[in-house]
Amino acid sequence: MKLRIPLARPEITDGDRMAVLAVLNSEQLSTGPQVEKFEHALSAYVGVRFAVAVNSGTSALHLAAQTLRLPRGSEVILPSFAFAAPLNVILQCGLRPVFVDIDQDTLNATAEQIEAAITPRTSAIVAIHNFGRSLDMPAVCTIAKRHNLRVIEDACEAMGSEIDGNKAGTFGDVSVLAFYPNKQITTGEGGVILTDNLETANHARRLRNQGRDPALDWWQQVEAGYSYRLSDINCALGVSQLQRIESVIERRLRLANLYNDKLKAIPEIFRPRLLSPLGRISWFCYVIRLREAFGRKHRDELCQKLLARGIGAGRYFAPLHRQPILAGAGKELALPVTDFVADRVIALPFFNQMEDAEVCEVADALKASVASLRRNT
């Protein structure tokens, strides 16, 4: 069923189309000038020395782990309430995931939870900014330094978020962003590795292109690499979109404020906090949470009621420690906030070109659906 108000919708302008068409009319669709242009624009915006564009945020995470040369079998700490990509990368690299719980207000892990999970076998921390709300990176980095650990900063949902005036993506030994169509800006598919370390950047460049060393002949392969390149078509779109990132962040903040105002009369839900003591939030999506009296069944029922009205709605996230790929290894793990929140979170429609009237329509539909649920509970 085609939704009148989808959960997400990419914003593609005439300028974006012209930028892509210019590449299509050229003779170089890949490994061309737009890749370098996008990388320079990203590094300048975020505030790091090097950016290495790749074909997805997951590929960026994979190369981030590879460049850090983490010992196989060592432990990597991450929140269970997160997208699947970090877990996939950890397993693919022969590492052991160690899951931590989250704070029920920020929906992020905390520095204290991360430090409590450190063992002599720990080699790294994957620090994830859920929904664009920043994790306390200065605290996490202090802990990592004290225990001699590496930090992969997963800022895939937080482009433009700030922590003490610095952009998310500037704190990790290596950091990543993603540009899937539901993100603040999109390249269709794409991601980037961010670092201040030249050796790390060069290693990532080799790995993304079949292990070739740019300083040698095209056919000289110096290590086992991957086909993780991002085309000039994607990068041209990224260059165009990046030019308006600040207005995108401002618009999304306005939408979040409007949602919070329109939903304040529904006692059955928790609304996200609009401010963070750490700095600016770059809103990736707008997520509400049902209160204690409601559970997974009610969440699913509400989503179905909204979908029946032509309005997108969905859950975020399924706990990683309970994924079938782990064959029950996390079955006995006590992560009560993760389990509680995962059963009650609902993502509402949220995208750059969303109209105020659409926010009001979603809010009214949610109010009516909750009222119906209240009568039947």
Catalytic residues: 183
What token pair was written down for 88?
A: 């996939």
347 backbone dihedrals φ, ψ, rounded to 5°: -90, 130
Q: What is the length of the chain?
A: 377
Phi/psi at 288 (5° precision): -105, 165
Take residue 101 and report the two structure tokens written for it: 């719980």
To 10 degrees, the CA torsion angle through 9, 10, 12, 16?
A: 180
Residue 275, both tokens:
């401010």
Sequence-ordered list of residues with C-beta below 8 angstroms from that of 194, at least 6 positions apart, any chain? 42, 43, 46, 48, 50, 51, 169, 170, 172, 174, 175, 176, 177
Strand pairing category for 191-195 and 345-348: unpaired
Instruction: Note if the bond before 317 is cis, omega within 30 degrees.
Output: yes
List CB contacts of 323: < 8 A, sequence separation 6 or more.
84, 87, 330
- For 29, the 3-state DSSP assignment is coil
d(CA 230, CA 249): 24
Q: N- to C-terminal Cα distance for the chain?
A: 28
Burial of 377 (0-12, 13-18, 19+ CB in 10 A): exposed
